[in-house]
Amino acid sequence: MTLSPTPVATTDSPHRPPLSYATFRVMDRLDEVCDVQGRANGFTSAEREGRRTLIARRAAEPGLRAVGAFRGRRLAGFAYGAPLNADWWWAGEALDALGSTAELASLGRPFTLLELHVIPSLQRRGVGGTLARQLCRTADPAFVLLTCRASDPGLQHFYRTLGFTTLPGARVGGHAYHVMTAPLPLRRRTSAFRA
């Protein structure tokens, strides 16, 4: 499935092509995915190589979907996700948290937003929110789940503007990550914060 190109206003040179959004296969663009993630997070070469192994493993996940923001043919941002898999190392803790919320437990297994990254020059320009909405637009479940670093209130705020809420007391990875959920479809941002 290819999504219709959606130009994004940027302050970049008018000689650069506008962004477009399209689905893609993660393994077909593994080097670019690792590069975007590394640039977005300031990873070292060693950290990028470690993440490469994880991303390649996730690319084989049943039901994985990916959406990219492209400048011309080059990947500038991406989001990917899959239905929650009980075999993921943190899934048991997330499922326990969901089970403690009767409304969410009745909705079944969620779609999981696993990764969302945008190169630094395009951050805070609406690209991340567009990627999240485009990806989740293709999901079947009634809600989406993600884990978010507990030490990053700016990132938590970004997800809240899309309609995510933090499950009270739900943390995974030794309390390093909050569990956040949102009903689908994701809403458009409601604050001036742009990601």
Q: Is residue 193 part of a domain?
A: no
Q: Is residue 7 part of a domain?
A: no
Give how many domains the chain has, as a whole number: 1
Q: Is residue 51 part of a domain?
A: yes
Q: Is-contact 110 103, C-beta < 8 A?
A: no
pTM beyond 0.75: the answer is: yes
Q: Is residue 12 part of a domain?
A: no
Q: Is residue 151 part of a domain?
A: yes
At residue 136, the pLDDT reads 93
Q: Is residue 6 part of a domain?
A: no
> For residues 77-108, b (16+ Cβ closer than 10 Å) or e, as one string?
bbbbbbbbeeebeebebbbebbeeeeebeeee
> Domain of 90?
19-183
State how far the alpha carbon of 176 is from the alpha carbons of 12, 34, 37, 149, in Å: 36, 23, 19, 6
Q: Residues of the chain whose pLDDT is less than 50?
A: 1-13, 190-195
Summarize pLDDT for 19-72 with one digit per residue, the tens: 999 999 999 999 999 999 999 999 998 999 889 999 999 999 999 999 999 999
CATH number at residue 115: 3.40.630.30
Q: Is residue 189 part of a domain?
A: no
Q: Is residue 156 part of a domain?
A: yes
